[in-house]
Amino acid sequence: MNIDEIQDFIYEKEENGICTLTINRPERRNALSFVSLLEIQVVLDDMEADKNARVLIITGCKEANAFSSGGYYNAKFMTSIPPEIKKELDFMDMAQKKLCLKLWDFSKPIIVAINGLAIGGGITMPLAGADLIYMAEEAWLGFYFVKRAVIPEFSMSFILPFYLGFQKAKEICYFGDKITAQEAEQLGLVNKVLPADELMPYAREQALRLVPPKGPSVSLKLMKKTMHNYFREIISRTLDLENEGYKASIKTSDFRAATKSLITKKDPIFKGK
């Protein structure tokens, strides 16, 4: 895939070095498909190759009333993917190891501005890849994996306990309760909560502090590389384990019950098998 083939995002570059990636799938509340996640990789590669690209801001389009509603794996959509794109996708990589490690290795700062609900991959992807996360006051997070009878991805099995400690991380994963923006800030999952109309201006203001003449790009690159280096192998092993766990979970009757509940709009009845 080439940068000019991107469809699920609006990708903008400015002369000052700020790049903005806006999720643009309002008809699906900015849900992310395998193709969407491939497009993020293409953007990261484009920025790495462009010495004038200094910092990336990721947000959701306003029309979606969401940052991202998570993963989108509709079977009909899967069959519509062009063959030349499909050959670049690994449908067995449910934990998104390739993208997660590319985000982890990305040499430039990433700022995420969560302007609405962020569910599943809509929050695990930012937590795995962002250096700074800002959030609108009315936005909220949903670690809904347990409700779908699957396990978290994007190395959350390591990152959440690392950020929060085991007890709180397990509480979040085991129950899947909604987390408000204010709770997310108190937990340390996001850096700052702001009124919706101040979110993007603040994100841009912070981005400007990270680019020349205010930000020393080489120093920032070395800081990020040094901080991330020790944990890379842990992240990689965790992603392998998440892929194994995910494949096991989707073979269960509980997963089938959870999938059925999405159609019937009724709570699933789990049997533990």
DSSP of 194-261, one letter per residue? E-HHHHHHHHHHHHHTTSTTTS-HHHHHHHHHHHHHTTHHHHHHHHHHHHHHHHHHTTSHHHHHHHHH
**What residue type is assigned to position 171 of the chain?**
E
Phi, psi of 155 (to 5 degrees): 65, 25
In this structure, what is the dihedral angle of CA atoms 57, 22, 100, 56, given to the nearest 10 degrees? -20
Q: Mind listing the pLDDT tens digit for each residue in 67-79? A: 999 988 776 777 8
pLDDT digits (tens, 9 = 90+) for 211-236: 999 999 999 999 999 999 999 999 99
Sign of the C-alpha dihedral computed for residues 98, 104, 105 and 109 taken in this order: positive
Distance (Å, rounded) from C-alpha 138 to C-alpha 50? 35
The whole-model pTM stands at: 0.94
Say yes or no to pLDDT of 37 above 70: yes
**Amino acid, single-letter form, for residue 88:** E
pLDDT digits 0-9 by tens, 98-156: 999 999 999 999 999 999 999 999 999 999 999 999 999 999 999 999 999 999 999 99
Q: Does residue 174 carry a pLDDT above 70?
A: yes
**Given a cut of 80, is residue 19 above it in pLDDT?**
yes
- In the block, which residue shows the tokens 């590669």? 45
Q: Which residues pair with residue 119 across a beta bridge? A: 142
Residue 265 binned pLDDT confidence (cut-offs 50, 70, 90): confident
Task: Domain 3-229: give its CATH architecture.
Answer: Alpha-Beta Complex (3.90)
Query: Are residues 21 and 79 in contact, defined by beta-carbon separation less than 8 angstroms?
Result: no
Gap between the Cα atoms of 153 and 123, Å rounded: 10
Domain boundaries, the chain: 3-229
